[in-house]
Amino acid sequence: MEISDQLLCLFNAEVTVSDDEYVVRVPTSEIETGAVDPGEVYRVALIERDDAGASDAAPSDTASGSATPATGDATGEGPQPPVEQGEIRYVEIEDIGKQGDGIARVERGYVIIVPGVEIGDRVKVEITQVKSNFAVGETIEDDADA
C-alpha cells in the first residue's frame, strides 16, 4: 500500500456512535503536535486492521520532539521528512505493524519503523533509511546501558 506524502498523522481509533453520528476520535497527541487543528476539515482514510490488531498501513511512530510546521523545499514539492539519515532520536513505540516491527510517530505524524521492539518501549534509534512517508530506525545502545 502506498501512503500519500500528504499524510498528516496515522493512528488507531474505534468508530463509535453518538446520537445520529458515527465518530472517530482523534488522539490529543495529534492536536498537541500540530498535526491536526480542531475545526479544520480533513480527508480521512479508513484501513481495516488484521486479526492481530496491527494496521496494514506503514508503521506509525510516536516520538518525543517538538512539532514543526510542514515546510516545503525550494522547488515547492511539499513537506520534507522531519528526520535525516544518521539522525539519533528517542521514540516511543505506539503499535506493532503487520510484519512485527515497532511503529512510532514524530512531527506531523511522520512514521518511523523500528524492528525488534514492543509497544510502550522508549528507545534511542539511529535513522537508517528515509522515505517521503516513513523512515526506518535501528535501536542503538545507550552509553549508560553499555
Ordered domains of the chain (ranges, CATH): 15-145 (2.40.50.140)
- Reported as a single tens digit per residue, the pLDDT across 19-67 is 989 888 888 877 777 777 888 888 887 777 664 444 334 443 333 333 3
Q: Which residue has the higher pLDDT, 71 or 124?
A: 124
pLDDT exceeds 90 at position 120? yes
Quick check: 74 pLDDT over 50? no
Q: Is the pTM of this model over 0.75?
A: no
Least confident of 19-23, 43-47, 85-89, 111-115: 43-47
User: Per-residue pLDDT for 142 more than 50?
Assistant: no
* DSSP codes of every residue in the chain: -PPPTT--------EEEETTEEEEPPPHHHHHTTSS-TT---------B-TTS-BSSSP--EES-------B-TT---BPPS--TT-EEEEE--EE-TTS-EEEE-GGG-EEEETT--TT-EEEEEEEEE-SSEEEEEE---GGG-
